[in-house]
Amino acid sequence: MSAEAIHDAKSYSGVSGMQHEEPLLFEHAHEQATSINLPGVHGEIPAELSPFMRASAAGIPGLSEGEAVRHFVRLSQWNHSIETGFYPLGSCTMKYNPRVNEQAVRLPGLAHLHPDQPEDTVQGALQLLYELQEWLGEISGLPHVTLQPAAGAHGELVGIMMIRAWHDMRGDIKRRTVLVPDSAHGTNPASAALAGMNTVELKSGDNGRIDLDVLKAHLNDEVAALMLTNPNTTGMFESDIAEICRLVHDAGGLVYGDGANLNALVGVARPGDMGIDCLHINVHKTFSTPHGGGGPGAGPVAVNDKLAAFLPLPCLEKDGDSIRIIHHNDHSIGNVFGSIGQTGVLLRAAAYIAAFGRQHLHRIAEDAVLNANYMLARLKDAYHVPFPGLCKHECLLTDEWQERHGVKTLDIAKRLIDLGFHPMTVYFPLIVHGAMLIEPTESESRATIDRFCNAMLEIAKACAAGDTELLHQAPLMPIRRRLDETLAARKPVLVWPG
């Protein structure tokens, strides 16, 4: 039977093969049932509220509790997560989130805290958070840490605000330019702009790395900072990093490190030792806290002595055997979050680090880099590799060889879905045409990586044989076929028309 025929199989429930079709809540809804009994109005509604009275019904769909639960559980079954399968999104570090992290944060002494509890009653939690600060300082080589930022990009903003404050305190107030390589994550220029800086893009060299001559040409007395990611988004280590940092420092600027790719370095090399002044750490990447659902997240920022005075408040300080929450500091950039940080997320990260310990932490980076290079070695004869040589924790391929057969990165990604895998990151970094960025992380087994490589090799083989029809039609198997991304972007329907 063809895929279409399977898809159109007659069904009496909207379900065939227990693969649930699911209409929108509004399409489901009916007038009668509701899962909530509203209390109703007692007495008169005060006259001053009358301008706010609804003229018509709110249009909330009526559903029983059971119907509502099924709706959301069914939708969740369409989803993919690290707990359903391999999730090789490059630059995202989709590693497994160990259950021991969850066990740790569910301990009653940690799970039931209130952010405003007196510090004497939460010493255990504060002790753990303080230790985490110390660990992150040690891992990054930047000893002063704030746990406050609620996400990586928030950390970038906080970092650039501190850098700006450092220049301003020295009276160097014309430094308002932030240099950003064209391979950077899009959040870098956005964060710099939000901090009131002008961003200037640096063109990468032919090897995918920062071109020292381009950098030199852009350094002047208005440059506040260079923002870079190391290894960068092509998966390559910036081998000139020491020279890059020296040049920026000599020109009076600071170096901001985007810690998105810290997984390649953790326990092996330290950004602070490379000359980086300030680094955010994506704990949902490097330290296995859940990525899910857009939050809550945490993006601690680590800085060297130059920037320590500007760290946000409140911060934690050791006072004998106790940890104190400090609310005042002359030069701090102030409050950037409602409390000391996203405690639940941060404690999961602490659990991950503790599980490895100082002795074994380097295994994270070593296995992540080994896995990526194993993958690169298996795929490099089937797919074009734009920057040859060893990669770090992710490998970068392109569709250059497949494009000759009319097959593009998007087709390859969609076909992977049919073959049982979530696709890799596609069309990023922007500087590489038809990019496919694959990051296996340390948590995948060789067997899983082999199965993924086999799927990739099958696609390349079909393509080389001119057998491209399936590739253009893919995906054939999932509940939704290829979506019209262009129409969705040009004419999005964001509001239920009824």
C-beta closer to another protein: residue 245 or 410:
410
Residues ≥6 apart with Cβ < 8 Å to 476 = 3, 418, 470
Q: How far is the CB of 197 from another protein (least distance, A)?
A: 16
Q: How far is the CB of 210 from another protein (least distance, A)?
A: 20
Strands 198-202 and 223-229: unpaired
Q: How far is the CB of 139 from another protein (least distance, A)?
A: 33
Encoding tokens for residue 267? Answer: 């326990």
C-beta closer to another protein: residue 328 or 490:
490
Encoding tokens for residue 135? Answer: 């660990």
Q: How far is the CB of 176 from another protein (least distance, A)?
A: 17
Distance CA 419, CA 277 (A): 44
Q: How far is the CB of 436 from another protein (least distance, A)?
A: 13
Chain-centroid distance, C-alpha 42: 49
C-beta closer to another protein: residue 100 or 430:
430
Q: How far is the CB of 408 from another protein (least distance, A)?
A: 9
Element holding 109 (H helix, E strand) = helix 108-111
421 HSE (CA, 13 A, CB side): 25
C-beta closer to another protein: residue 203 or 327:
203
Element holding 456 (H helix, E strand) = helix 446-464
Q: Which residues is 398 bridged to in the sheet?
A: 384, 435
C-beta closer to another protein: residue 404 or 433:
433
Residue 317 is given by DSSP the state E
Distance CA 404, CA 202 (A): 31
Residue 203 is given by DSSP the state P
Element holding 26 (H helix, E strand) = helix 25-28
C-beta closer to another protein: residue 201 or 367:
201
Q: How far is the CB of 160 from another protein (least distance, A)?
A: 20
Q: How far is the CB of 120 from another protein (least distance, A)?
A: 50
C-beta closer to another protein: residue 401 or 427:
427
Q: How far is the CB of 488 from another protein (least distance, A)?
A: 9
> Phi then psi for 448, rounded to 5 degrees?
-65, -45
Q: How far is the CB of 394 from another protein (least distance, A)?
A: 19
C-beta closer to another protein: residue 64 or 198:
198
Sheet harboring 144-146: ordered strands across? 144-146, 301-303, 278-280, 254-258, 223-229, 177-181, 198-202
Distance CA 258, CA 119 (A): 32
Residues near another protein (CB under 8 A) are 186, 427, 430, 433, 485-486, 489-490
Q: How far is the CB of 430 from another protein (least distance, A)?
A: 5
Helix-helix angle 446-464:362-379, to 10 degrees: 20
C-beta closer to another protein: residue 148 or 204:
204
Distance CA 484, CA 93 (A): 28
Per the listing, tokens 């020296």 go with 246
Strands 315-319 and 322-326: antiparallel
Element holding 348 (H helix, E strand) = helix 343-360
Distance CA 160, CA 153 (A): 11
Length of the chain: 498
Residues ≥6 apart with Cβ < 8 Å to 379 = 395, 397, 453, 456, 457
Q: How far is the CB of 203 from another protein (least distance, A)?
A: 10
C-beta closer to another protein: residue 75 or 430:
430
Distance CA 122, CA 118 (A): 7
Q: Which residues is 436 bridged to in the sheet?
A: 397, 426
Q: How far is the CB of 375 from another protein (least distance, A)?
A: 23
C-beta closer to another protein: residue 356 or 427:
427
Distance CA 232, CA 355 (A): 28
C-beta closer to another protein: residue 116 or 485:
485
C-beta closer to another protein: residue 212 or 430:
430
